[in-house]
Structure 1
């Protein structure tokens, strides 16, 4: 039930994004859209920024857990294609500062990207390797924004852009997201969401 309730709240928030700018959306509007009580909302989220973050988590986690996601290139393609096909994300980029959507994308992709690589390598990242992942995630968060807004790279599909990004990565980072890695990630997500 908690997973369903959280998703229901996130889905209501996304419906509101189709009609309103992010800054104009209030918790009260989310409550009215989802028909959940204030107590229920605050059981799962501190504020609307948490709901915004949960939306991207759902997108990213669904891409990772998809059986068609075999490696990081497939993951990049899925995220970029989702950004381009969901213009409501554009409204979330109106946020600024530490709790901005852009910063959340960076933090979450860095966290999960590091976890994917460490799981595949069966060891922790070195400081230099962590720097490499952080660099790609910081740039990647801006690419997601630009893909979503349609500002740049209009001639590239998500798959083409993902292939270009993967070419820039060192060969050692071309890790497989196989059934064993996916099972560990699924368990991590399950524990996090429990």
Structure 2
């Protein structure tokens, strides 16, 4: 290798490391704004949370905000989409660790309830704040909810002999809806007097099991 080519390689490596470090700082700043906004949206609501509030809390400039997000709706949509990815991972983890389709339903419901209970700001974004804000946010919200319904439908259809289900689509909507509604109600209760999240999660899981498990029919 000539001196000239060696010098070029060193120079390129330095540029690469500098670019990598710069991109890392940019991603860290974007992450800070997103996490701060999620917390504020969950605490104060979408309408009461403003861009000046977000940048002040995150201790970044207004210019930095608009470098990463077009506006408040765009930021909120990013927060929702990230929540959707996290919820999908909850179901994927259950799917990969529980081969029994019958047990996967209640375990999934319990895991989802606990995830949302442990992340109340994000849960409020999905279950409270995102409803009726705009067509874009409604579509993102609907996609998250529909994704869970689709996973449940697949489970029902994968083992029809295990479930007392005549219409997998309707059953999936009922199970998913019951879980999300239970979380919604739990979040709205007084934290000092409400039931522990784990206890409610187990109750929801038991209800889901009894609702769809195939068993002896009661005589009319």
**TM-score normalised by the chain length of structure 1:** 0.59
Q: Displacement, 1:60? A: 0.7
Aligned to 2:144: 108
CA contact (8 A) 1:86 1:148 kept: no
More helix as a share of residues = 2
Alignment RMSD, CA only? 4.4
**TM-score normalised by the chain length of structure 2:** 0.53
CA contact (8 A) 1:106 1:141 kept: no
Closer, same or farther in 2 for the Cα pair 1:81/1:150, shift >3 Å? farther
Matched residue pairs, number? Answer: 167
* More contact order relative to length (CA 8 Å, sep ≥ 6): 1
The match for 2:185 among 146, 151, 171 is: 146
Greater C-alpha radius of gyration: 2
Q: Displacement, 1:148? A: 2.1
The equivalences for 1:61-72 within 5 A come to 61-66=88-93, 70=98, 71-72=104-105
CA contact (8 A) 1:102 1:145 kept: no
Q: Which runs of 5 or more residues in structure 1 are unaligned?
A: 173-194
Distance 1:39 1:122 in 2: 46
User: What is the SS of the residue equivalent to 2:77?
Assistant: helix
The match for 1:84 among 114, 117, 140 is: 117
CA contact (8 A) 1:73 1:163 kept: yes
Closer, same or farther in 2 for the Cα pair 1:166/1:90, shift >3 Å? closer
CA contact (8 A) 2:80 2:140 kept: yes
